[in-house]
Structure 1
Amino acid sequence: MQRLQQVEKRIEVRPLEQVAAPEAGAAAQTATTQAEPRIDITPLTGYSDLDRALGISSVAFHHNAYTRLTIVGYPYEVSGSDNTKASRVSGYQEDNWFRRYFIGLKRDISLSVKMRSGSYEETISLATLSSTSDRNGLSWNRDVVHDVTGFPWFLVTRDASAPVPRIAVQARYTRAMESGVATATLQATLGAIKAVSPQSTVVTTLSEPATRDRAAAIDQVINNLFASEINETHHSDRNLVWWRADGGIRVAFRVPKSTSDWNGQYDAIGSWAIGFAPPRPSLFSEWHICQAETPAYRCKSDYATAEQAAYATKNAANILRYPLIKTSSGVITIRKWILQEDWYTSAQSSFIGDARSDKLTANALCLTTAEKVTELGLNDIDAALVTWAMMKGLPPARAMDATAWTAPDCAAITQRVG
């Protein structure tokens, strides 16, 4: 157990003075732990858990509500301020023509994040740095993401089977031969390099550059005849019990100062905060459950108040226009989805203008609509709102008694949403 506690402390990456002391009787082992050398096995990336560092929030995450992924980037720039100011600029270093002609190299280093919750997955590239050097010249591509918004909302259910969101952050470096030399044998490649290299029987200031370039080219052929790859991945299950509006995880991205020395010094190029938006009880309302209102979030302090605010701002036309999915053939809104469902068209044809019969049909339709909405992955609040919008916003059946929507379950939904 003591050993397990020590492992957990190293994972949390907290200063030793902030770590609670082990059980009595382990003082000698504690001293050994403090003296142990510690190594960073993921030099390209830095990881910190802001939720755990800040502690459980006084505002709990409410289940049966929706949230979505949030990503805020802090790439470093010389013109930046505070925690985004860079100390220097990374330029574009050229390879000489000799090296390019014989050793075409493509280098890529990237940072990406994947979030998975149940069957829902998102993958986002945060930064990609590429360079290609071959006989055709040199090219560089640097793609850096700052903020990412507009992720889809997903429901965090209240039952024990609710999936736990998992975030995986991966840094990857690849280096591969790009020219036709990569397919040649090593001896043939070395022979070609020597054949075009300036020859000399004595090392002079005139021959030194060519000799140095030839040696470097040979070294690279030996080292790079086959592609090399580095992968670093951090996995984190995000227990929303720890959720905080100012929490999440923070990932730093680092690159080596020299592309030829991956065991040397590294420079940080930026960091990204990855978290989840404050919960909202309805897709059809902008009200969230949070304490401090911001331009991005309208806040109510508790679930019940946010739910009532969602009902108070309901609009049948807006609910029916809500897009469920966009396909190559167009947008499927809630309205279009309902109208194309067999259970709805069947119910419409069952209305006959008789009060008692039509109330039974309407009651079954209200129950079925709410059930089908929850099967889509929405909560009971939105199931009630969609059912209400169906009653208020869709044209009634041609033969339908005016009192049909007063059926018990339909009336209960109308009373619930107000």
Structure 2
Amino acid sequence: MDITPLTGYTDLDRSTNTAVSLHNMYTRLAVVGDANEQNGLPGQEATQERGYETRQWLQRYLIGLKDDINLSLRVRTGSYEETISLATLSSTSDRNGSTWDRDVTHDAHNFPWFLANRDAAAPIPQLVLQFRGSRAMESGAASAALQAALGAIKTVSPQATVITKLSEPGTRERASAIDQVISKLFSSKVGETHRSDRNLVQWTAEGGVRVALRVPRSTSDWDGPLQEVGYWTIGFAPPRPSLFSQWQICEPSSKATYCMRKPEEAKKAILETKNAAAILSYPLIRNSAGDLTIKSHLLQQNWYVAAQTSFVGNVLSDSGTANFLCLTIIESMMALGLNDLDAWLVTWAAMKGLPQAKAMHPAALSNAQACVEVTKSVSAS
């Protein structure tokens, strides 16, 4: 018996054992849609349309009707949360006339990267797929209101390129705000919810979770036959060993670029093309006031400023200060949520690209053990 006839849920990875290791790597959410639409392509079969049904003026004058349908997805992985509206269909028919508003997310990939796991305790993605549908004798335009609200939230919320301790609160508040807007606009006269918790190590490159949406064929008959709108595949992008390079772990093919089968091969390619200026300019957070880059973040740290004023021109003393700087940069980057490779790359970039104190002895860095180890670790050889 299908107790959720309006929505479908399929685990595409249940019978596979080919998951890609995400150990100490980054990934991000990926939503790929397949809306059941006719795009006018040669040889493509036309699909049955959901038309825009009108009512006579007297019916509209006597009874105002408002139909709303929304399918949304909420994902939580560790400290990272995201809420996505997959489809919204709204119509209003009252004395003022008839309006229709339909909004469909076909593909969504512009999500922040996050570190999957640094140890054996991988985060467990929690998926909540929620359908809300209602028919009420009232007026309004929920779809337009939803898109306006989403636009306002995204405008005022900082946009994270990577999930770190700096961006965690903002992403949680943004996801919560979007979820609250959807809940308020779409009263759950009809509601269906699917929940899933699955360890991140069980997600495969070509798999994921497939969700489907079916709606009444007639906007005026919720008890009539259903028609499939389409489906979306929810998954995660191929893992990346570093935020500062496009190289990823995947099977090379004619359609894929920057693919390496083995993490060791990808790491070598990353180190061969490393660029100090690009690393330092990498944005941790984007907002209307400007980007918070790695460079600006480091220069704002009290310990960094204090260390720069501690150089005195003595090789022994300055080597100790330089050693402290390299160790602290590594620790601070890993505390933010970067992996060890990127923490070393940031430290190397800081040595190469940040202005050094004039009083620092020329041999300070080459005599600081932590700095020497970083240089060796990021060597491409």
TM-score, structure 2 normalization: 0.82
State the distance in 1 between where 2:42 and 2:14 align: 24
Moved more, 159-168 or 110-119: 159-168
Give 1:155's aligned residue.
Answer: 115
The 1:282/1:83 distance shift into structure 2, 3 A limit, reads farther
Alignment of 1:142-181 (within 5 A): 142-178=102-138
Q: Matched residues in 1 for 2:44 and 2:83: separation?
A: 25
Residues 326-373 of structure 1: per-residue CA shift (max 9 Å, x gap): 123211111111111111101101111110001000001100000000
Q: What are the equivalent positions in structure 2 for 1:63-82 lying under 5 Å apart? A: 63-79=23-39
CA RMSD, 1 decimal: 2.1
Quote the residue 1:414 is aligned against.
375
Give the counterpart letter for 2:2 in structure 1: D
* Distance in structure 1 (CA, Å) of the matches to 2:311 and 2:2: 70
**Is 1:47 aligned to 2:12, yes or no?**
no
CA contact (8 A) 1:66 1:279 kept: yes
Contact 1:62 1:303 in 2 (8 A): no
Q: Which amino acid aligns with 2:335?
A: E
Q: Are the equivalent residues in 1 in contact too, given 2:7–2:131 (CA < 8 A)? A: yes
1:300 counterpart residue number: 260
Q: How many angstroms apart in 1 are the aligned matches of 2:119 and 2:132?
A: 37
1:172 and 1:231 in contact (8 A); partners too: yes
Deviation at 1:295, TM superposition (A): 4.5
Q: Deviations over 1:248-299 (max 9, x none)?
A: 0111110012334333321001111110011111000111111234555411
* Equivalent of 2:53 in 86, 93, 96: 93
Question: Match for residue 190 of structure 2?
Answer: 230
Contact 2:63–2:137 (Cα < 8 Å) also in 1: yes
Could you give the per-residue CA deviations for residues 46-68 of structure 1, whole angstroms, max 9, x where no partner exists?
A: 11111114x111x5323110000
CA distance in 2, matches of 1:293, 1:165: 28
Between the aligned partners of 2:372 and 2:199, the Cα distance in structure 1 is 38
Q: Which has the higher contact order (CA 8 A, sep 6+)?
A: 2
* Aligned equivalents of 1:177, 1:52: Cα separation in 2: 44
Bigger helix fraction: 1
**Conserved 8 A contact 1:76-1:270:** yes
In structure 1, list runs of 5 or more residues that go unmatched. Answer: 1-38, 181-226
8 A Cα contact 2:34 2:230, kept in partner:
yes
Instruction: Find the structure with the greater CA-based Rg.
Output: 1
CA contact (8 A) 1:104 1:135 kept: yes
One-letter identity of the residue aligned with 1:354: N
Cα pair distance change 1:258/1:415, threshold 3 Å: same
Partner amino acid for 2:371?
C
Q: Deviations over 1:110-134 (max 9, x none)?
A: 1111111122111111111100111
8 A contact 2:212–2:232 mirrored in 1? yes
The SS at the match of 1:264 is: coil
Alpha-carbon distance in structure 2 between the residues aligned to 1:82 and 1:40: 36
Which residue in 1 is equivalent to 2:17?
56
- Give the CA deviation at 1:150: 1.6
For residues 359-398 of structure 1, the aligned pairs below 5 Å read 359-398=319-358
Change (3 A) 1:237 1:83: farther
Amino acid at match of 2:96: N
**8 A contact 1:67–1:279 mirrored in 2:** yes
Q: Describe the superposition over 1:139-174 as per-residue Cα deviations: whole angstroms up to 9, x where unpaired.
A: 000111111122111101132444211122211112
Distance 1:325 1:85 in 2: 45
Which whole-Å CA distance do the structure 2 matches of 1:105 and 1:264 have between them? 18
Match of 2:84 in 1: 124
Q: Distance in 2 between matches of 1:308 and 1:236?
A: 37
Whole-Å Cα distance in 2 between the matches of residues 310 and 128 of structure 1? Answer: 42
Counterpart of 2:304 in structure 1 is 344
For residues 239-318 of structure 1, the aligned pairs below 5 Å read: 239-293=199-253, 295=255, 297-318=257-278
Aligned length: 332
Aligned residue number for residue 112 of structure 1: 72
Map Cα deviations across residues 199-253 of structure 1 (whole Å, 9 max, x no partner): xxxxxxxxxxxxxxxxxxxxxxxxxxxx761121211223233221110011111
CA distance in 2, matches of 1:83, 1:416: 55
Q: What does residue 138 of structure 1 align with?
A: 98
Distance 1:339 1:238 in 2: 40
**Contact 1:77-1:84 within 8 A present in 2 as well:** no
Counterpart secondary structure, 2:119: coil
Q: In percent, how many aligned pairs have the same letter?
A: 57
How far is 1:83 from its partner?
12
Q: Which residue of 1 aligns with 2:364?
A: 404
Between the aligned partners of 1:42 and 1:65, the Cα distance in structure 2 is: 36
1:408 corresponds to which letter in structure 2? Q
Inter-partner Cα distance in structure 2 for 1:131 and 1:352: 73
Work out the CA distance in 1 between the residues paired with 2:279 and 2:43: 42
Asked whether the equivalents of residues 76 and 84 of structure 1 are also in contact (C-alpha less than 8 Å), the reply is no
Q: Please give the secondary structure, in 1, of the residue aligned with 2:89.
A: strand
Distance 1:240 1:228 in 2: 31
Kindly provide the amino acid, as one letter, of the partner of residue 63 in structure 1: H
CA shift for structure 1 position 82: 11
Cα distance in structure 2, aligned partners of 1:83 and 1:272: 23
Q: In 1, Cα distance between the equivalents of 2:248 and 2:198? A: 20
Q: Kindly provide the CA deviation profile for residues 68-122 of structure 1, in whole angstroms up to 9, marking residues without a partner as x.
A: 0111111112346799855311110012222211221221101111111122111
Instruction: Give the distance between the partners of 2:44 and 2:130, measured in 1 at CA.
Output: 22
